[in-house]
Amino acid sequence: MNANDKNINNLFLYWLICSSTLVFIIIIVGGLTRLTNSGLSITEWELFKGILPPLNQKSWFFYFDQYKKIPQFNLLNYNMTLDEFKVIFYWEYLHRILARLIGIFFFIPLIYFYLLKKINKRYMTVCYFIFFLIILQGAVGWYMVKSGLVYDVTVSHYRLSIHLCLAFIIISNIFWLILNVKKNTDLIFLNLNKKNIFFFILIILIFIQIILGAFVSGLDAGRIYQTWPLMGNSYIPNDLVIKNLKNIFDFNNHSLVQFYHRNLAYFITFYILALNFFIYERKIKNLFNPMKFLLLSLILQIILGILTLMSSLNIYLASAHQISSVILVFSSINLYYFRSK
């Protein structure tokens, strides 16, 4: 590889790192938008005309009047002032501006690298897929917002989970590509075999936990039981009644969703400890450091999860809990990468 090609590959890597950082930031802002109940403050998609915020009092009254038409205002925030509305508006506005920025920041350099034809074709194929997911994410975001504009005071927790999970899929793909570029490898993420299958299962378990976490957030299910390790006075919440198979999959049940979220966390913890035992018992030395990073991420996630619950869902702790979930995903993917080499 000559000096020019090396510079281009370094530029490609820096672009991916910056893109990953932007997605990481929007996950944080998206979480805070949900925690502050700000997601329904802008009731139209406004792909182009919403680039600038309201610049005069007339524009502010227009947006506020639009918000007054939805159930969230009429049932929950009927006494909200214009100044209070501005707070939730700016959270959603920041979220949307970041989404636009990510789309532009990813699209323009993608064209540049395509025209150069200097980047590994498989790397570029992954980038095309990521860009498709970014576009899809915009549509899913509006699909989510629409669910809270007519019949409900908040967005559907099912649509929220799709929106969040898609963000994690985007940042995971970028992170995997960063690992490949940095290590000058061409590993395919879904190239499963007996050697790495159990490490891949861990990633799937964490993604299921992220979906359950979105259910808990979307339903405000964390407000029901704010004790740990018991849910109230018992391990199984006393208001949980399972009469048939259908009840087991009732993801509208606040207590059941929180119960599943807690217990999958326990299962993931034991699963990671089992992988840790396997790695050290087999003396797989190239996995020692990735496993240490994963264990530290797990401990951080557990501590923040418990503190968030017992703090009556303190917004800063809740946001930190979501941030640490991204770190946990990175660490599990990193472990899977080194196992797949």
pLDDT per position as a tens digit, 19-48: 999 999 999 999 999 999 999 999 988 877
What is the overall mean pLDDT for the chain?
94
Identify the pLDDT of residue 2. 66
pLDDT per position as a tens digit, 141-152: 999 999 999 888
Please give the single-letter amino acid code of residue 186: D
Residues 6+ apart with CB under 8 A from 132: none
Helix segments in the chain, DSSP class H: 3-35, 57-67, 71, 82-116, 121-146, 157-183, 197-219, 245-248, 254-281, 288-310, 315-340
CA neighbor of 33 nearest in space, from 74, 86, 91? 91
Maximum alpha-carbon separation in the chain? 69
Q: Is the pLDDT of residue 5 over 80?
A: no
**What DSSP designation does 234 have?**
B
Q: Is the pLDDT of residue 303 over 90?
A: yes
For 225: left if phi > 0, alpha if psi spans -120 to 50, otherwise beta; the answer is: beta
| Three-state secondary structure call for residue 198 | helix
> Taken in order 328, 270, 31, 110, is the CA torsion positive or negative?
positive
> Taken in order 39, 42, 48, 54, is the CA torsion positive or negative?
negative
Q: Is the pLDDT of residue 53 over 70?
A: yes
Q: Is the pLDDT of residue 242 over 90?
A: no
